[in-house]
Amino acid sequence: MGEVLAVVPARGGSVGIPRKSIVPVAGRPMLAWTAEAALGAGSLDRVVLSTDDEEMAGIGADLGLEVPFLRPAALAGDTVPMADVLAHALGWATGAGIDVDVVVLLQPTSPLRRSEHIDGAVARLADPTVDTVVTVVPVPHQFNPVSVMRRDADGTLGPYQDGPLVTRRQDKPEVWARNGPAVVATRARLVAAGEVYGGRMVGHEMSPLDSIDVDGPDDLVLVDLLLRQR
């Protein structure tokens, strides 16, 4: 069996929070929390930082991540698909003679994710019928598709889906959402084909608090508080 390659993407040009991956969180660069979780995970053979930014590359190296390349500018824009970023990292590994079986995406914007979440997700790939594992969180019942409403131009509310609204929590179907995602583990052959979520996909559940993804300043305040409490 080939290696398990983890890729931590951290581009320099983040929009919502400038230089988000290295903004201080609980006294450390946000990237440090993902580096700690990744390096503590027993399921990962290599943890590579994919960045276009020299300062982030230096911080990543100081944190113990491998930084074997700088990501080209063509892959550093905010519209570049993550599939392309992972394929680039896999291409580096292949060119270096590294036989990769599984690629794991670990975005630094999920600083509450821990080593056991990574190991739990990768372990699901021991089942040869599973191609992709993604961490998920239960959708709160008030946001269930059978409860969601749309509002017309005149302000009238109605069911978003066809059929009546379901108001009793016990009558609602169980639904799940990707939590960032904090972890995606997928077969290298799918990444080489340009896919992140391919083949048979299963979920690995995480708690809502561990699943907070930093998109804006409010998220940053919350994860800072939670990490200090931890």
Residue whose structure tokens are 């794991």: 104
The pLDDT of residue 13: 76
pLDDT band per the 50, 70, 90 thresholds, residue 224? very high
**Residue 146, token pair as written in the block:** 């059978």
pLDDT band per the 50, 70, 90 thresholds, residue 18? confident
The pLDDT of residue 78: 85
SS3 177: strand
**Residue 7, token pair as written in the block:** 């890729």
Classify burial at 220, counting beta carbons within 10 Å of its beta carbon; exposed 0-12, middle 13-18, buried 19 or more: buried
Across 90-99, 140-149, 160-169, which has the greatest mean pLDDT? Answer: 90-99
Backbone angles phi, psi at 98, to 5 degrees: -95, 125
Q: What is the pLDDT of residues 147-196, one digit of tens each?
A: 999 999 999 999 998 888 888 888 899 999 999 999 999 999 999 999 99
Q: Are 86 and 190 in contact (CB under 8 A)?
A: no
